[in-house]
Amino acid sequence: MSFTPRFRDIAHLGHIELLTPKPEESLKFFTEIVGLSESGRQGDSVYLRAWGDYEFATLKLTVAKAPGLGHLALRTADAETLDLLVADLQQHGFQGKWLESDLGHGRAFRFPSPDGHQLELYFETTWFEAPSESATYMRNNPQRRGTRGISPRRLDHINILASDVKANREFYQKRLGMKLTEQIIFDDGAEMGGWLTATNKSYDIAITRDNAGGHGRLHHLTYFTDTREEVLRAADIFVESGVTIETGPHKHAIGQTFFLYVFEPGGNRFELASGGYSILAPDWKPVVWTQADRARGQAWGLKTVESFHTYGTPPIE
């Protein structure tokens, strides 16, 4: 078979399943404070989306004994590409299974990544249709802009931890056609992080080293606000709501995004981000950040807090 995965075979990050041992508190966090909306419920899961997300759901919140990543789903360019990618995966020894459907999307191929993160590839999806009370005159929005709590516009990206960054980022490049845009390579040659994109955003998936030696762990998931002012406003709202801010607001050197990290009640790290830059060049060469660069701190010099280097979910005993 002559198929080789290419950039754009994956259209974008579709949704994330987040595990929480405190489902009620987590749900309240994501709906009342963050301002996502509930699209539906099934089994142990509640399906959520931001006001600008076009699909039925971008966050699936599932009851579990410990926090962590249930799975992350990538939408393919079309149905044919989905089949081609899956065939290619199988040829390369990736075992998985087809799921008939989930609330909000059609058949999906579920398999573990090299580091053990559950991945899902799917194409058929349910477009969100706004009920009349949130219908909008802005025909290019799926619904009226949200006003509850922080109300980010859409899901942005996920940051996963991996014990072997290189092997994993190569998997996303080779098997899924994603583009490597930025990297951290330390003086000893160790890859400490890789940022990959399926779009013109500078990243959709970030992989950073699991310094605890875990597998399949989550660093954080991120929703996007149109403005940095909304991130600043979110910081006020989080603090007033008793949510712990881990670090930020500040600007990442990598990706240039303006960030704010907190912990949701279930224990998972959650980010709000805005800004960043677009990568238009089809022949972009990955930007490499050195150990010395990282020692300088974030864009304006803020030192990265220690927990950022060590904490992931599920926690490691």
Binding residues (CB under 8 A) for a copy of itself: these are: 7-8, 11-12, 52, 54, 75-78, 136-141, 144-145, 147-149, 153-154, 181-182, 199-202, 226-230, 232, 235-240, 244-245, 248-251, 253-256, 258, 275, 277-278, 280-283, 287-289, 293, 296, 299-301
Nearer to a copy of itself by C-beta: 42 or 307? 307
Residues 299, 195 contacting (CB under 8 angstroms): no
- Please give the Cα distance from 271 to 237 (Å, whole number): 14
Beta carbon of residue 48, minimum distance to a copy of itself (angstroms, whole number)? 17
What's at 230, amino acid-wise?
E
Question: b/e per residue, 147-176, with b = 16+ CB within 10 A?
Answer: eebbbbbbbbbbbbbbbbbbebbebbbebb
Nearer to a copy of itself by C-beta: 39 or 76? 76
Beta carbon of residue 46, minimum distance to a copy of itself (angstroms, whole number)? 22
Beta carbon of residue 68, minimum distance to a copy of itself (angstroms, whole number)? 25
Beta carbon of residue 107, minimum distance to a copy of itself (angstroms, whole number)? 16
Nearer to a copy of itself by C-beta: 90 or 200? 200
Nearer to a copy of itself by C-beta: 199 or 208? 199
Q: In what order do the strands lie in the sheet with 118-122?
A: 37-42, 45-49, 59-63, 10-20, 68-76, 118-122, 108-112, 97-99
Residues 139, 145 contacting (CB under 8 angstroms): no
Nearer to a copy of itself by C-beta: 44 or 236? 236
Nearer to a copy of itself by C-beta: 101 or 278? 278
- Please give the Cα distance from 81 to 12 (Å, whole number): 13
For residue 263, how many other CB atoms are within 10 A of its CB? 19
Beta carbon of residue 145, minimum distance to a copy of itself (angstroms, whole number)? 5
Beta carbon of residue 182, minimum distance to a copy of itself (angstroms, whole number)? 6
